[in-house]
């Protein structure tokens, strides 16, 4: 039946998601239009298409056992020189994100996998671009700040065109609303919430 490439992440809600995606494109990251702004919980993972029902059940079970938690993004950081990435820092919610991704990737579940680097929740705003553009990204968003309450996570699938598309949202608990989807309007700057 073939394979698919999946990822699980927390969407950055509006207006912040579109703003950061537009900034990523402005810095020269050509992949930006195909990657919704997010915090990764399960990095791109190739799986058999036959495994999807089991993965979806597992993600629903994980989400049902979770409660909303506060999250704050503030300032920038980088993984350079180890990895060519500039990111917006997660400054509140780190422990919750770390625990959530560990449950998703549990060794006994269908999403078990080793990570190339230790888990570090963040929002990528530049990846694999020239050093001057990376410096602009790191300096240009150093005052960025956003806060919200995370109400769930989502499963994405990467298409043959390298665009990540939302497949399914997983709200926490039985009655909590999911994180809103990102709008297509990338032109509005966000209002400050910090």
Percentage of residues in the chain having pLDDT higher than 90: 86
Pairing of strands 122-127, 38-48: unpaired
Q: What's CA 6's distance to the chain center, in Å?
A: 12
CA distance 51 to 78: 35
How many residues appear in the chain?
194
CA distance 185 to 165: 16
Q: What is the pLDDT of residue 178?
A: 45
- pLDDT, tens digit, 9 for 90 and up, residues 31-51: 999 999 999 999 999 999 999
SS3 of residue 135 by DSSP? helix
- pLDDT, tens digit, 9 for 90 and up, residues 78-118: 999 989 999 999 999 999 999 999 999 999 999 999 888 89
Question: Is 7's pLDDT higher than 60?
Answer: yes
CA distance 158 to 174: 28
75 sits in the region (left: phi over 0; alpha: psi -120 to 50; else beta) called left
Task: Report pTM.
Answer: 0.87
- What are 127's two structure tokens? 């990846």
SS3 of residue 113 by DSSP? coil
SS3 of residue 121 by DSSP? coil
- What are 173's two structure tokens? 């608990």
* Over residues 19-31, mean pLDDT: 96
- pLDDT, tens digit, 9 for 90 and up, residues 137-154: 999 999 999 999 999 999
Q: What is the pLDDT of residue 116?
A: 87
Q: What is the pLDDT of residue 190?
A: 55
Question: Is 23's pLDDT higher than 70?
Answer: yes
Residue for token pair 């509005």: 188
Give the single-character DSSP code of 162: S
């Amino acid at each position: 039946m073939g394979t698919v490439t999946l990822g699980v992440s927390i969407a950055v809600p509006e207006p912040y998601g579109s703003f950061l995606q537009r900034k990523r494109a402005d810095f020269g990251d050509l992949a930006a239009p195909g990657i919704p702004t997010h915090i990764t919980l399960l990095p791109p993972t190739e799986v058999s298409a036959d495994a999807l029902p089991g993965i979806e059940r597992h993600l629903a079970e994980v989400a049902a056992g979770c409660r909303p938690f506060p999250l704050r993004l503030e300032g920038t950081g980088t993984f350079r020189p180890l990895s060519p990435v500039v990111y917006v820092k997660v400054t509140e919610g780190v422990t919750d994100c770390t625990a959530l991704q560990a449950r998703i990737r549990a060794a006994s579940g269908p999403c078990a996998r080793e990570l190339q680097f230790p888990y570090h929740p963040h929002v990528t705003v530049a990846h694999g671009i020239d050093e001057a553009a990376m410096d602009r990204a790191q300096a240009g968003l150093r005052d960025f700040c956003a806060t919200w309450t995370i109400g769930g996570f989502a499963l994405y699938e990467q298409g043959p065109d390298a665009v990540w598309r939302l497949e399914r949202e997983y709200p926490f608990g039985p009655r909590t609303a999911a994180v809103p989807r990102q709008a297509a309007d990338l032109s509005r700057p966000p209002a400050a919430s910090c």
